[in-house]
Structure 1
Amino acid sequence: MQFSNRIAIPQLFVSDAAADKLRDEAQKLPGWNLCGEQGQILRLLICGGLFPLRGYMSQAEAQAVAATGTLPGGHVWPCPITLRITPDFSAGVEPGQDIALWLDGQVVAILSVTDSWVMDGELHLGGRIKGLPMGDGTTTPNNLRAIWDRIGADRVVAGSDLRDLPADAPAILMTDAGRIPATLPGLVQGFALPHFDAQDRPMMRAIIARNAGATHLAAKDAAGIADALADLGLSVHGQS
């Protein structure tokens, strides 16, 4: 499957006018306070980093991913992306209801719940997301795609180690926020990844890299997933 790395991808942000209305509505809705990891995942969802997801996975999607490693539509996906909640909170939430998602004291999204179920002993919610503008300088996939478009970059290499990236060509360093240097060489851009389990991290990095406009993945990061990269429109750096 081929993807253009220089065209904007869908995001889940609402307009500024709609955001003001949603902030008012959020005060009347049940609210879930996101932990740090949940906040990072939600931000990725909203800004298109987890495209083609339009929110948290439904029960059917999550079960398909857990069983087959693909979404029902055939997209490669290594792990369910859902909102895990507590039993106390779940008692007041049911499908068809909206809930406000809060992070650091501010509402960041409205979740329209479509599914509520138990998986692996934990309670999960699925549903569509309406995201409020971040306005905090967060780097998004479309920020990077705009850079690649501006400089005419048809080849962009992504990887987790700066030593594996070309310093004189467009590239994305994708790793934990604390490991991204304040200053990066040449045309290298940084993109912080949230925590994923070790077995899921390589493929999630590849998916997010594709969404951020990468066309190639560093060979070290492609180890073990090279066969799946073609489905993402990615090649292995150094091989093509």
Structure 2
Amino acid sequence: MSSLVAAHGGELKNLYLPEAQAEAEKIAAKELVSWDLSHRQLCDIELLLNGGFSPLEGFLSEVDYDSVVENSRLADGTLWPMPVTLDVSEDFAEALSPGERIALRDEEGVIIALLEVSDKWSPDKSKEAEAVFGTNDQLHPAVNYLFNQAGDVYLGGKLIGLARPSHYDFRGLRDSPKELRAKFEKWGWKKIVAFQTRNPMHRAHQELTFRAAKQVEANLLIHPVVGMTKPGDVDHFSRVRCYEHVLAEYPEQTTMLSLLPLAMRMGGPREAVWHAIIRKNYGCSHFIVGRDHAGPGKDSNGKDFYGAYDAQELMQEYKDELGIEMVPFQMMVYVEEKAEYESIDEVQEGQTVLNISGTEFRRRLTEGLDVPEWFSYPTVVKELRKRYPARHKQGLTVFFTGLSGSGKSTIANALLTKLMELGERSITLLDGDVVRKHLSSELGFSKEHRNLNIQRIGYVASEITKNGGIAICAPIAPYRETRRQVREMIKPVGGFVEVHVSTALEVCEQRDRKGLYAKAREGIIKEFTGISDPYEIPENPELVIDTVGCTPDEAAQRIILKLEGMGYIK
């Protein structure tokens, strides 16, 4: 396996085999045990194989993992702040032995790489969360991933690259570290300052990056993340189109755009150091670190996970060994009297500062309100209005949950009729019994199968919502965690309104036309919700309806008024 040495970044790992050898290994690998890579794992493996994660040559061993968690260093002392491990299920790991090779496949089944397993272990996830992210609060995206999505066993070992992950989007903007270094050399770019972003760029970002490049007399690389970012972020297709518009605002031949397939952890200070190392590997000499770099927002107590300039402080601590220089910046604000942007620390007393938060900007988009030109470029706003139409034009899921016999299906049908009367959008009813018949007929009623059924409903609802329709879902959905997964599946693509039909158990039993509750109490039906299996009451539904003393028509009207109040219908 070859390496590349360039002016910036030092040795660059290349873990791909030559093409002929890779093809031979692919044939042999068909007989190996294989693991299907998740989106995050595929992002990690791409940057491992192409050298973006140099000096790593694979997923961390247990000793390297422990050292990174505790000290932000590999076991040999090399600075590396973020664990990069292959998490798998206990069942998959059980049969594996050190020294064994496994095939790693993408979602289409293509073998991307071989892993020579050197270690397998069960990590202390609480320790990892606290040490790496400074919290066990599951509002932190990486902590949530760690506890609710990542497998319970980690595998470590060297990688052998057989195929590059496929990308069909923006292919002209996707550069490996080797390719980007070659471009810099061809263009004669000696000093390059990189700008990390996961958001659309507005006028403040353009001003900040332009000043940073001018300050250090360098060319500018806009290097946005197009792998995994924070749930709810603007999709990368919309963002890249926005970046292309902003690119025209810089002087010609000074700035370029390239895409980074990174799975962000939103790890604040540690992530800033990680981002700097990655940009060094891509051939950059400088790296912009602004306010709350890679911060995930607020915790469960409403406080920021990280201090505004913690990332700059940690970068300063490691400046002598990073191999890339930090360009620190404070927040840029618009000064009305000067009609231009200034760093917040340059604003003089008595001057009027104008600013629009991300939340306020999204509100203006979803409510169809004007966005001032001092805040963003009209071309960018136009692009984002496609992604964030006014709420009454967005897709929507109304998700009912409640005991069997609570009245969910009846209210759902009444709601369906009322929404069809309005005629605004296409509407689909995903009733629990109907879905069982047509989508999940092979499933039983174990907890695992009930969860899978709800996940299928959630997936179908997310597709309906993404395409501007209204999905009405009426399953029992007894478990909070599964309902949370459905909400997280749908929220990035449209509206989600949870309706808890809270009819009491004894009333549901009285209404039981099929005799299911009686059979459950006699033990004939096992794991029946409300009798032999728990129903976990929703903690924060958008609406609670008790059907005792409330007709289906009245209940549906309450939901219509709620949707109208939230702006989803006009």
> TM-score normalised to the size of structure 2?
0.39
State how far apart, in whole Å, the 1-side matches of 2:155 and 2:111 are.
18
- Higher normalized helix content (fraction of residues): 2
Verify: 1:151 aligned to 2:187, yes or no.
yes
Aligned match for 2:312, one of 220, 223, 237? 223
Deviation at 1:129, TM superposition (A): 0.3
1:208 equivalent in structure 2 = 278
Shift of 1:229: 3.3
Match of 1:189 in 2: 257
Shift of 1:139: 2.0
Which structure would you say has the larger Rg?
2
Identify the residue that residue 160 of structure 1 maps to in structure 2: 196
What's the offset of the Cα at 1:146? 0.5
| Structure 1 residue 135: Cα displacement | 7.4
| Residue type at the aligned position of 1:59 | E
- The one of 97, 100, 103 aligned to 1:100: 103
Q: 2:138 matched to 1:48? A: no
Question: In structure 2, how many angstroms separate the alpha carbons of the residues matched to 1:233 and 1:227?
Answer: 13
Q: Give the residue type in structure 2 aligned to 1:172.
A: L
Matched letter for residue 49 of structure 2: I
- Amino acid aligned to 2:256: V
- 1:164-183 alignment to 2 at 5 Å? 164-166=208-210, 170-177=219-226, 178=236, 179-181=239-241, 183=244
Asked if the contact 2:10–2:281 (Cα under 8 Å) also holds between the matched residues in 1, the reply is: no
Q: Deviations over 1:27-61 (max 9, x none)?
A: 10000000001100000000000000011111111
Unmatched 5+ stretches in structure 1 = none
The residue type paired with residue 229 of structure 1 is K
Q: Which moved more, 1:108-117 or 1:177-186?
A: 177-186
CA distance in 2, matches of 1:58, 1:27: 25
**1:173 alignment partner AA:** I
Say if 2:278 is the partner of 1:234: no
Of 70-79 and 218-227, deviating more is 218-227
In the other structure, the counterpart of 1:75 is 78
Within the candidate set 17, 21, 41, 2:20 is matched to 17
CA shift for structure 1 position 238: 7.2
Q: 1:156 touches 1:171 (CA, 8 Å); kept in 2? A: yes
Decide whether the 8 Å contact of 1:6 with 1:148 is kept in 2.
no
| Paired letter, 1:86 | S
- Rounded to whole Å, the distance in 2 between the matches of 1:195 and 1:120 is 21
Corresponding residue to 1:112 among 113, 116, 119 = 116
Q: Pick closer, same or farther for the CA change 1:172–1:45 going to 2, 3 Å.
A: same
Structural mapping, 1:56-75, within 5 Å: 56-75=59-78
Residue range with higher mean Cα deviation, 121-130 or 175-184: 175-184
Distance 1:71 1:208, change over 3 A: same
Q: Which runs of 4+ in 1 moved over 4 A?
A: 135-138
Deviation string 1:209-238 (CA, Å, 9 cap, x unpaired) is: 010011101141562322213312111237
Identity of matched residues, %: 27
One-letter code aligned to 1:209: R
In 1, the alpha carbon distance for the partners of 2:94 and 2:165 equals 33
Answer yes or no: is 1:27 the counterpart of 2:30. Answer: yes
Partners of 2:101 and 2:266 in 1: CA distance = 29
Cα offsets for 1:119-138 (capped at 9, x unmatched): 12531000000012327454
Contact 2:9/2:280 (<8 A) preserved? no
| Amino acid in structure 1 at the alignment position of 2:60 | M
Structure 1: how far apart are the matches of 2:165 and 2:56?
22
Mark the CA change 1:180 to 1:206 in structure 2 (over 3 Å): closer, same or farther: farther
> How far is the alpha carbon of 1:155 from its aligned partner?
0.6
Contact 1:7–1:145 at 8 Å: present in 2 too?
A: no
Determine the C-alpha separation between the residues in 2 that align with 1:33 and 1:148. 35
Q: Could you tell me how far apart the structure 2 residues matched to 1:87 and 1:57 are?
A: 18
Q: Deviations over 1:197-218 (max 9, x none)?
A: 4233212211110100111011
Quote the offset at 1:25 in angstroms.
1.5
Which SS does the other structure have where 2:280 is aligned?
helix
C-alpha distance in 2 between matches for 1:172 and 1:95: 41
Shift of 1:189: 2.7
Structure 2 distance, partners of 1:232, 1:17, is: 37
CA contact (8 A) 1:174 1:205 kept: no
Number of residue pairs matched by the alignment: 237
Q: Is the 8 A contact 1:59 1:116 kept in 2?
A: yes
Partners of 1:189 and 1:6 in 2: how far apart? 19
Structure 2: unaligned runs, 5 residues or longer: 1-5, 126-151, 198-204, 227-235, 294-310, 330-570
1:69-101 deviation digits (Å, cap 9, x = unpaired): 111222211121110000110012110000000
